[in-house]
Amino acid sequence: MAEKVTIATVARHARVSRQTVSNVLNAPHIVREETRLRVEDAISALGYRANQAARQMRTGRSRLIAARIDPTRDGINGSVLDRFLHGLTETADAAGYRVLLYTATDDEREIATYGDLLGTYELDAFVLVGTKHGDPRTAWLADRDVPFVTFGRPWDALDAHPWVDVDGAAGTAQATRHLLAAGHRRIAFIGWPAGSGVGDDRRAGWRDALHEAGVDPTGLHRETEDGIAQGERLMRDLLVAVAPTAVVCASDSLALGALQAIRGTDPPVSVIGFDDTPVAAAIGLASVSQPLGDAAARCVDLLTGVLDGNHETPTHVLLQPSLALRHTA
């Protein structure tokens, strides 16, 4: 059968040396036009593909990016990761990189996995989704000069490393303004306990939008862990306490709970969730939608910027979410 096509086969076929073929691939500008075309013809005629392992051995670069796949926590917000990963794979592919998956049950193991992936596969970079205050993972990577990007801001030090994020405050503000425009005044907010960057950010957007409209947000918000049952409980509480006519939630899970609590109210209380998950789309819940494909693409941009030596690219990207209006708003 057809024997393996290496750079030497191509060289023979195009009557040039191996190095010239290599140059055509890696530094086309130093090869004479005529020679280049002859080599390119040979490459496509023979169906040559550069062997990544051999290349990697010499250059030390694998053109592989690692991303973590989580065990689908509550299932509702899980699909956010799914969509992000798909975008990542697509964009990375276009940039000549491939995405390798890994899992880990805790930070310590995750860091052990970093060592393994770097040592064994010589990964070029990592994409981390979601980081916490004082995250040991980013510290470990930064210490070793391993390129990485996070999807999610490092809330304590915005310049610590490259990141891409979606402006959650802008999202909840937009949702709130939409409700204000529809005539609502008592617009409540159900969010997460203070202290998480993401949660505080989303609440701030709602609060600022109300202030902007001259509405006092006092007493109109509640905090809880994420979950449908939690959302339902707090919404009942709000209905009794302040009788809001609309509510903005920090997640679709909370919004889903809120929807159950308001069933039968007349006129119906408006509800807007966050993340535009499949559940929201399925049941007609209005929700703030994150541009996950864009976010993934920008992550790849930042990484290739670092990896391919182009240091002029910005290192922080903040994307604007949009509002997916459905019949609950």
Q: Binding of DNA at residue 310 (CB under 7 A)? A: no
Residue 116: CB minimum distance to a second copy, A = 7
Q: Binding of a second copy at residue 233 (CB under 8 A)? A: no
Distance from C-alpha of 37 to C-alpha of 53, rounded to nearest angstrom: 26
Q: Which of 2, 44, 47, 58 binds DNA (CB under 7 A)?
A: 58
Contact string (CB under 8 A) for a second copy, positions 58-77, x = contact:
----x-x----xxxx-xxx-
Q: Which is nearer to DNA, 31 or 259 (CB)?
A: 31
Element (H, E) at 271: strand 270-274
Q: Which of 4, 71, 96, 267 binds DNA (CB under 7 A)?
A: 4
Q: Which of 8, 30, 45, 57 binds a second copy (CB under 8 A)?
A: 57
Distance from C-alpha of 241 to C-alpha of 243, rounded to nearest angstrom: 6
**Which token pair is 236?**
């009942």
Q: Which of 29, 32, 49, 263 binds a second copy (CB under 8 A)?
A: 49
From the list DNA, a second copy, none, partner contacted by residue 311 (C-beta under 5 to 8 A by kind): none
Residue 25: CB minimum distance to DNA, A = 5
Dihedral-angle region of residue 152 (phi above 0 means left; psi in -120 to 50 means alpha; beta otherwise): left
Closest-CA residue to 168 (of 205, 132, 128)? 205
| Residue 174 DSSP SS3 | helix
Q: Which is nearer to DNA, 58 or 311 (CB)?
A: 58
Distance from C-alpha of 250 to C-alpha of 77, rounded to nearest angstrom: 11
Residue 65: CB minimum distance to a second copy, A = 10
From the list DNA, a second copy, none, partner contacted by residue 279 (C-beta under 5 to 8 A by kind): a second copy
From the list DNA, a second copy, none, partner contacted by residue 26 (C-beta under 5 to 8 A by kind): DNA
Residue 14: CB minimum distance to DNA, A = 9
Instruction: Provide CB contacts within 8 A for 277, sequence distance 6+.
Output: 76, 77, 79, 80, 252, 287
Distance from C-alpha of 304 to C-alpha of 310, rounded to nearest angstrom: 8
Residue 16: CB minimum distance to DNA, A = 4
Q: Binding of DNA at residue 12 (CB under 7 A)? A: no
Q: Which of 1, 2, 32, 282 binds DNA (CB under 7 A)?
A: 32
Part in contact with DNA (CB under 7 A); list of ranges 9-17, 85-93, 99-107, 203-211: 9-17
Which CA distances in Å does 56 have to 63, 121, 284? 8, 9, 49
Distance from C-alpha of 169 to C-alpha of 209, rounded to nearest angstrom: 9
Read out DSSP for 106-166?
SHHHHHHHHHHIIIII---EEEEE---TT-HHHHHHHHTT--EEEES--TT-TTSS-EEEE
Distance from C-alpha of 144 to C-alpha of 119, rounded to nearest angstrom: 12
Are residues 64 and 97 in contact, defined by beta-carbon separation less than 8 angstroms?
Answer: yes
Closest-CA residue to 232 (of 217, 254, 210)? 254
Residue 86: CB minimum distance to a second copy, A = 5
Q: Which is nearer to DNA, 16 or 292 (CB)?
A: 16
Residue 72: CB minimum distance to a second copy, A = 5
**Which token pair is 124?**
């070029």
**Contact residues: DNA, CB under 7 A:** 4, 6-8, 11, 15-23, 25-26, 30-32, 34-36, 48-51, 54-55, 57-59
Q: List contacts with a second copy (CB under 8 A).
A: 47, 49-54, 56-57, 62, 64, 69-72, 74-76, 78-79, 81-83, 85-86, 89-90, 93, 98-103, 115-116, 119-122, 228, 253, 256, 277-279, 281-283
